[in-house]
Amino acid sequence: MKLSLGPLLYLWPRDQVIEYYTRIADTSVDIIYLGETICSKRRMMKTADWIALARELSASGKQVVLSTLALLEAESELSTLRKIVSNNEFMVEANDMAAVQLLTGSSFVAGPHINCYNNNTMSLLNKTGATRWVMPVELSRDVLVELQSARPDGMETEIFAFGRLPLSFSARCFTARANDKLKDDCQFICGDFPQGLTIYTQEEKPFLTLNGIQMQSASTCNLIGAVNECKDLGVDILRLSPQPHRMETIIETYRQVINNELTPDEGEKIIAEFLSVEPCNGYWHNQPGMEWTETIE
The answer to whether position 290 is within a domain reads no
Structural domain containing residue 66: 2-165+220-261
The confidence band for 296, taking pLDDT boundaries of 50, 70 and 90, is: low
Contact yes or no for 295/253 (Cβ under 8 A): no
Rounded distance between C-alpha atoms, residue 279 and residue 291, angstroms: 8
- Residues 6+ away with beta carbon under 8 Å from 180: none
Tens-place pLDDT, residues 60-87? 999 999 999 999 988 999 999 999 999 9
* Confidence check: pLDDT of 92 > 90: yes
The answer to whether position 246 is within a domain reads yes
Supply φ then ψ for residue 128, to 5 degrees: -70, -30
Tens-place pLDDT, residues 224-235? 999 999 999 999
The answer to whether position 294 is within a domain reads no
The answer to whether position 175 is within a domain reads no
Report, as an integer, the average pLDDT of 255-271. Answer: 95
The answer to whether position 72 is within a domain reads yes
What is the pTM assigned to this prediction?
0.95
The answer to whether position 141 is within a domain reads yes
- C-alpha angle with apex 152: 150 to 158, nearest 5 degrees? 90
What's the confidence (pLDDT) of residue 297? 57
Domain count, the chain: 1
The answer to whether position 211 is within a domain reads no
- Residues 6+ away with beta carbon under 8 Å from 240: 3, 4, 5, 6, 29, 161, 162, 163, 247, 250, 251, 254
Contact yes or no for 265/297 (Cβ under 8 A): yes
Can you give the CATH number for the domain in which 55 is found? 3.20.20.70
The answer to whether position 112 is within a domain reads yes
Tens-place pLDDT, residues 40-66? 888 889 999 999 999 999 999 999 999
DSSP state of 191: G
